[in-house]
Amino acid sequence: MDSKTHIKSLRVLLLAFVILLLFFRPSEYYWLYALVFVVWSFAAVIARLPEAQSKWRHFRTQWKYRLTLRTGKTNSAQKAVLAHLNYRVTEILRKEYPEAIWNWGTAQPEQLAEQGGKGEILTNHTGKYHCAEVVIDPLYRVFVNMQEGEEPKKASSDQIQKTEANEELVSVWFEMAAKDKLHSLVSELSSQGYSRIDILESGEVVITEGEKNEVKDIVPDMPERSCWKYLTGKLEQMGMIPQIRKNCVTVEW
């Protein structure tokens, strides 16, 4: 019940009391006045039920979301942590080997990303090296120690181009760090009447209201601009209409 509706209901109550005063003395018919007040109160409570239910659902959703973040027991959180580790490993490799690509040789890299320890990756375009040991120390610093080994079959072809490597990295990043988050956000905004978002170079996802931009979420590790064409391809597969602009990727649905 909004403020205008509440004021109207008070006017109805006052009008009812005025009519009662014209025909019934309060000292003799006090029960009638009490009955009118009880009926009015009951009607006011019924009118406020949808608003109260909506607030309760919102509170419950926010509480579950915060509890989930604290416990860290979600697949999306695991994927986000692994995505950060993947890009850190790629960053370290490409300092020495600019065209390096790699795959996990460890069975469950999610556990490595969360708990630390040692894991193995299989690499290509890394000179004489074809594998490496990934170490996450107790301070969660990441080290990549190159090791000699047999070249893996999946990475044995020297015909893999840099553009293909970038496309693969964007594909992995999108599936692990962006797809679920964007799908959830678009579903929510669509239900509220929105039909467009802008993904900035920083990874911030914003909506425009008049002349103001409101940040709704952040996509971690947004790819560099030269890789945005691969991102638009992934967005199109989700049924959206992306467009690359000067400082952002515009997504409409």
Task: Please give the pLDDT value at position 134.
Answer: 92
Please state the φ and ψ torsions of residue 25, each to the nearest 5 degrees: -75, 135
In the beta sheet, which residues pair with residue 206? 198, 215
Task: Please give the pLDDT value at position 165.
Answer: 59
* Contact assessment for residue 159 and residue 142, using Cβ atoms and an 8 Å cutoff: no
Q: What angle do CA 65, 69, 72 make, to 5 degrees?
A: 130
**Cβ neighbours around 166 below 10 Å, total:** 18
Q: Where are the alpha helices (DSSP H) in 72-193?
A: 75-96, 109-115, 162-173, 179-191
* Contact assessment for residue 45 and residue 37, using Cβ atoms and an 8 Å cutoff: no
Task: Please give the pLDDT value at position 152.
Answer: 47
Task: Please give the pLDDT value at position 141.
Answer: 86
Task: Please give the pLDDT value at position 143.
Answer: 92
Spans of all domains in the chain: 3-71, 75-160, 170-252
Task: Please give the pLDDT value at position 21.
Answer: 79
72: region left, alpha or beta (phi > 0 left; psi from -120 to 50 alpha): left
Query: Quick check: pTM over 0.85?
Result: no
Report CA dihedral (91, 93, 178, 165) to the nearest 10 degrees: 120
* Sign of CA pseudo-dihedral 192, 232, 220, 77: positive
Task: Please give the pLDDT value at position 66.
Answer: 55
Task: Please give the pLDDT value at position 155.
Answer: 42
In the beta sheet, which residues pair with residue 217? 205
C-alpha span between 117 and 113 (Å, rounded): 8
Task: Please give the pLDDT value at position 109.
Answer: 83
* Residue ranges of the chain with per-residue pLDDT less than 50: 65, 69, 71-74, 152-161
High-pLDDT (> 70) share of the chain, %: 80
